[in-house]
């Protein structure tokens, strides 16, 4: 009687790639079926060594079971030792960042952001615990790259992903035959950067200015003479603002990116698959399988603890739309959160960085 080993793999496994690799290694598959969570099939015990190579190549989290003994394979067998290493080694590897992925709009931006991350000590094969705080990384990127309004970070396994969001384009009015101007502050803040095409700086970086202060002079001085040139450009400054928010405690979120595995008879052909799974030729004649997209609506009950996970990202998107184009959010602090009358109410403190320079006509007496 042949001895079979039952294999259980997650339903998220790329089945086409799995079956292709099994075929390349001449591994016969028996009793193949799927459920909501797993793909289950059996192989001959003699093919277990070849299957280990497939599992290692595809990095599959699996469970093995001896069908004759109807129990998990013995702890002292070489097979289970292999499974043991399949669990321990990925856990150890997860303590390191092996891949840094930049999701930006151009290859040039990818290179610049990668170099900036290296300057901050963020590189491949680093220990996760040494990764700087997201707030620190975000501030460094946003202060250097004015084209971005926000930077999102995510870590999946050993991959650290940096996703910068482009700021909305800033439209500027063209001044045709306009009088010479200085650039003055439209609000108080601390100067962080200049981007000038004309004019002479009236203040330096890291200096606090008040609303109405002259930031850039619209003239240059040569000896005893002053030549009127007008001032053009941007002056960036950081400042804190306090905002209040109010949300219902029950929030419905629709996720359009979820997928569901569907297996149907080939004759039915009822559903159009978003991604079809290539099945073995033996059963491909009768059934077809694939993923269809689903819109799942999930209702969350907001609490004070869920502000970080659910509310803050929504607030950032809303705030960025309401603030002037080119605005960046450098830092945030939740000051107060309370639940009253089925409402989540609170206050949030935001560190904003934007161009605060506006033109101001040079008084006639200053042109002399």
- Considering the domain architecture, whether residues 70 and 106 belong to the same structural domain is answered as no
Is there a domain that residue 130 lies in?
yes
Per-residue pLDDT of 60-76, as tens digits, reads 887 777 655 544 444 44
Residue where one domain finishes, among candidates 42, 77, 92? 92
Model pLDDT, residue 76: 43
Q: Is residue 123, in this structure, part of any structural domain at all?
A: yes
Same domain, 26 and 59: yes
pLDDT at 74: 43
Of 173 and 214, the one with more pLDDT? 214
Based on DSSP, count helices (H) and strands (E) in the chain, helices before strands. Answer: 7, 24
Beta bridge pairs of residue 38: 10
In this predicted model, which residue has the larger pLDDT, 78 or 215? 215
Q: Is 225 within 8 Å of 252 (Cβ atoms)?
A: no
Can you give the CATH number for the domain in which 84 is found?
3.30.70.260
pLDDT band at 184; cut points 50, 70, 90: very high
- pLDDT on residue 177: 57
When mean pLDDT is compared across 36-45, 288-297, 338-347, the lowest value belongs to 288-297
Greater pLDDT, 134 or 313: 134
Which residue, of 40, 66, 92, is where some domain finishes? 92
In sequence order, what DSSP letters do the residues of 87-153 get, joined into one string?
A: HHHHHHHTTEE-EEEE--SSHHHHHHHHHHHHHTT--TTEEGGGSPPHHHHHHHHHHH-TTEEEEEE
Whether 51 has a pLDDT exceeding 80, the answer reads yes
Weakest mean pLDDT among 5-19, 175-189, 261-275: 261-275
23 lies in some domain? yes
**Domain assignment of residue 173, yes or no:** no
The pLDDT confidence band at residue 191, using thresholds 50, 70 and 90, is very high
The Cα-based distances of 106 to 1, 159, 286, 352 in angstroms read: 60, 20, 46, 26
Q: Clarify whether residues 88 and 113 are in a common domain.
A: no
Question: In this predicted structure, what is the pLDDT of residue 334?
Answer: 78
Taking the complete model, does pTM exceed 0.85, yes or no? no
Q: Is residue 214 part of a domain?
A: no
Asked if 29 and 68 sit in the same domain, the reply is yes
**159 located within any domain:** yes
Same domain, 128 and 88: no
Mean pLDDT confidence for 78-90: 57
Instruction: Return the CATH number at 104.
Output: 3.10.20
pLDDT of residue 41: 83
Higher pLDDT, 169 or 70: 169
- Report whether pLDDT(154) > 50: yes
Is the pLDDT at 346 greater than 70? The verdict is yes
pLDDT of residue 239: 92
Q: Is residue 129 part of a domain?
A: yes
Are 118 and 71 in the same domain? no
Which among 92, 125, 153 is the end of a domain?
A: 92
Residue 59 pLDDT class (50, 70, 90 cuts)? confident
Domain tally, the chain: 2
Q: Please say whether the beta carbons of 288 and 264 come within 8 A.
A: yes
Among 241-245, 246-250, 256-260, where is mean pLDDT lowest?
256-260
Does one domain contain both 13 and 81? yes
Sheet holding 275-277, edge to edge: 250-265, 287-301, 275-277
Count of beta carbons in the 10 Å neighbourhood of residue 328: 27
64 and 134 belong to one structural domain: no
The pLDDT of residue 37 is above 90:
no
Q: What's the rounded mean pLDDT across residues 246-269?
A: 67
- CA-based radius of gyration for the chain: 30
Using a pLDDT cut of 70, give the percent of the chain over it. Answer: 75
Which residue range(s) make up the domain with 121? 96-166
State the angle between helix axes of 78-93 and 48-58 in degrees (0 to 180), rounded to the nearest 10.
10
Query: Which residues sit opposite 348 in a β-bridge?
Result: 243, 334
Instruction: State the chain's mean pLDDT as an integer.
Output: 77
Residue 55 is assigned to a structural domain of this protein:
yes
């Amino acid at each position: 009687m042949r001895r079979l080993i039952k294999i259980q793999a997650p339903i998220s496994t790329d089945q086409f790639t799995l079956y292709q690799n099994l075929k390349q290694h001449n591994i016969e598959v028996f009793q193949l079926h799927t459920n909501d969570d797993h793909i289950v099939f059996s192989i001959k015990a003699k093919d277990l060594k070849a299957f280990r190579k497939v599992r290692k190549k595809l990095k599959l989290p699996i469970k093995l079971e001896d069908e004759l003994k109807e129990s998990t394979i013995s702890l002292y067998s070489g097979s289970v030792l292999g499974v043991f290493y399949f669990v321990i080694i990925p856990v150890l590897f997860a303590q390191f960042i092996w891949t840094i992925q930049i999701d930006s709009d151009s290859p040039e931006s990818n290179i610049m952001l990668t170099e900036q991350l290296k300057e901050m000590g963020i590189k491949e094969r680093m220990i996760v615990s040494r990764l700087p705080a997201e707030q620190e990384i975000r501030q460094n990127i946003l202060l250097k790259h004015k084209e971005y309004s926000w930077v999102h970070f995510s870590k999946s396994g050993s991959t650290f992903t940096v996703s910068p969001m482009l700021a909305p384009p800033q439209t500027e009015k063209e001044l045709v035959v306009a009088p010479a101007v200085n650039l003055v502050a439209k609000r108080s803040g601390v100067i962080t950067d200049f981007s000038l095409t004309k004019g002479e700086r009236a203040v330096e970086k890291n200096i606090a200015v008040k609303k109405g202060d002259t930031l850039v002079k619209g003239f240059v001085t040569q000896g005893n003479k002053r030549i009127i040139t007008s001032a053009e450009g941007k002056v960036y400054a950081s400042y804190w603002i306090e905002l209040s928010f109010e949300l219902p405690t029950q929030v419905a979120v629709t996720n359009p990116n979820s997928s569901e595995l569907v297996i149907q008879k080939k004759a039915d052909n009822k559903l159009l698959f978003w991604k079809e799974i290539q099945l073995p030729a033996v059963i491909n004649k009768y059934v077809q399988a694939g993923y269809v997209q689903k819109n799942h609506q999930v209702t969350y009950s907001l609490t004070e603890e869920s502000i970080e996970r659910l509310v803050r990202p929504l607030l950032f998107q809303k705030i960025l739309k309401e603030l002037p184009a080119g605005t960046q959010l450098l830092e945030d602090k939740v000051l107060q959160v309370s639940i009253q009358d089925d409402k989540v109410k609170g206050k949030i403190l935001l560190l904003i960085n934007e161009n605060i320079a506006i033109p101001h006509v040079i008084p006639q007496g200053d042109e002399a």
